[in-house]
Amino acid sequence: MKALCYHGKEDVRIDNVPDPKIEDPQDIIIKVTSTAICGSDLHIYGDLVPTMKEGDVLGHEFMGEVVELGKEVKKFKKGDRVVVPFTIACGNCDYCDDHKYSLCDNSNPNEELCRENLGHSISGLFGFSHMLGGFSGGQAEYVRVPYADVGPIKVPESLTDEQSLFLSDIFPTGYMGAENADIKEGDTVAIWGCGPVGQFAIQSAWMLGAKRVIAIDMIKERLDMAEKHSKAEVIRTVDADEVYAKLMEMTGGKGPDCCIDAVGAEAHGAEGFNKNLDKAQPNALAQIFKSCKKGGNVSIPGVYAGEVDGLPMGVAMNKSLNLKMGQTHMQHYLDPLLKKVEEGKIDPSFIITHRMKLSEAPEAYKKFRNKEDGCVKVVLTP
Residue among 39, 46, 70, 348 that touches ligand NAD (CB under 6 A): 39
Residue 326 CB, shortest distance to Zn ion, in Å, is 14
Give the binding range for ligand NAD (CB under 6 A) out of 7-15, 89-97, 165-173, 203-211: 165-173
What are the angstrom distances between the C-alpha of 379 and each of 191, 229, 352, 356, 375?
A: 24, 19, 7, 6, 11
Q: Which residue is nearest to Zn ion (CB)?
A: 38
Q: Contact 84/149 with Cβ under 8 angstroms?
A: no
Residue 128 CB, shortest distance to Zn ion, in Å, is 9
Task: Confirm or reject binding of residue 196 to ligand NAD (CB under 6 A).
Answer: yes
What are the angstrom distances between the C-alpha of 150 and each of 23, 69, 85, 361, 379?
A: 16, 14, 10, 29, 25
Residue among 28, 197, 210, 232 that touches ligand NAD (CB under 6 A): 197
Residue among 124, 145, 266, 293 that touches ligand NAD (CB under 6 A): 266
Residue among 46, 64, 301, 348 that touches ligand NAD (CB under 6 A): 301
Give the binding range for ligand NAD (CB under 6 A) out of 17-25, 114-122, 143-151, 256-264: 256-264
Give the binding range for ligand NAD (CB under 6 A) out of 127-135, 265-273, 289-297, 353-361: 265-273
Residues in the chain: 382
Q: Contact 137/57 with Cβ under 8 angstroms?
A: yes
What are the angstrom distances between the C-alpha of 25 and each of 64, 90, 134, 154?
A: 20, 13, 19, 19
Task: Confirm or reject binding of residue 216 to ligand NAD (CB under 6 A).
Answer: yes
Residue 252 contacts by C-beta under 8 Å, 6 or more apart in sequence? Answer: none
Residue 343 CB, shortest distance to Zn ion, in Å, is 24
| Spatial distance between the Cα atoms of 287 and 166, rounded to a whole number of angstroms | 29
| Spatial distance between the Cα atoms of 376 and 114, rounded to a whole number of angstroms | 31
Residue among 27, 169, 187, 257 that touches Zn ion (CB under 5 A): 169
**217 interface partner picked from ligand NAD, Zn ion, none, CB below 5 to 8 A per type:** ligand NAD
Task: Confirm or reject binding of residue 40 to ligand NAD (CB under 6 A).
Answer: yes
**219 interface partner picked from ligand NAD, Zn ion, none, CB below 5 to 8 A per type:** ligand NAD
Give the binding range for ligand NAD (CB under 6 A) out of 50-58, 115-123, 158-166, 210-218: 210-218
Nearest to 211 by CA among 262, 257, 263: 257
Residue 158 CB, shortest distance to ligand NAD, in Å, is 26
| Spatial distance between the Cα atoms of 299 and 302, rounded to a whole number of angstroms | 9
Q: Which sign does the torsion angle of CA 305, 311, 316, 318 carry? A: positive
DSSP 8-class letter at 118: H
Q: Contact 311/321 with Cβ under 8 angstroms?
A: no
Task: Confirm or reject binding of residue 299 to ligand NAD (CB under 6 A).
Answer: no
Task: Confirm or reject binding of residue 194 to ligand NAD (CB under 6 A).
Answer: yes
Residue 281 CB, shortest distance to ligand NAD, in Å, is 5
Residue 52 contacts by C-beta under 8 Å, 6 or more apart in sequence? Answer: 6, 44, 129, 130
| Ranges within 67-106 binding ligand NAD (CB under 6 A) | none
Task: Confirm or reject binding of residue 199 to Zn ion (CB under 5 A).
Answer: no
Task: Confirm or reject binding of residue 38 to Zn ion (CB under 5 A).
Answer: yes
**225 interface partner picked from Zn ion, ligand NAD, none, CB below 5 to 8 A per type:** none
| Spatial distance between the Cα atoms of 282 and 241, rounded to a whole number of angstroms | 10
Task: Confirm or reject binding of residue 267 to ligand NAD (CB under 6 A).
Answer: yes
Cβ-based nearer residue to ligand NAD, 52 or 303: 303
Q: Contact 230/270 with Cβ under 8 angstroms?
A: no
Give the binding range for ligand NAD (CB under 6 A) out of 23-31, 196-204, 205-213, 251-259: 196-204
| Spatial distance between the Cα atoms of 204 and 178, rounded to a whole number of angstroms | 6
Helices 170-179 and 330-342 cross at an angle (nearest 10°) of: 110
Query: Which residues contact ligand NAD by CB under 6 A?
Result: 38-40, 42-43, 169-170, 173, 192-198, 216-219, 222, 238, 262-267, 281-282, 284, 301-303, 327-328
Query: Which residues contact Zn ion by CB under 5 A?
Result: 38, 40, 169
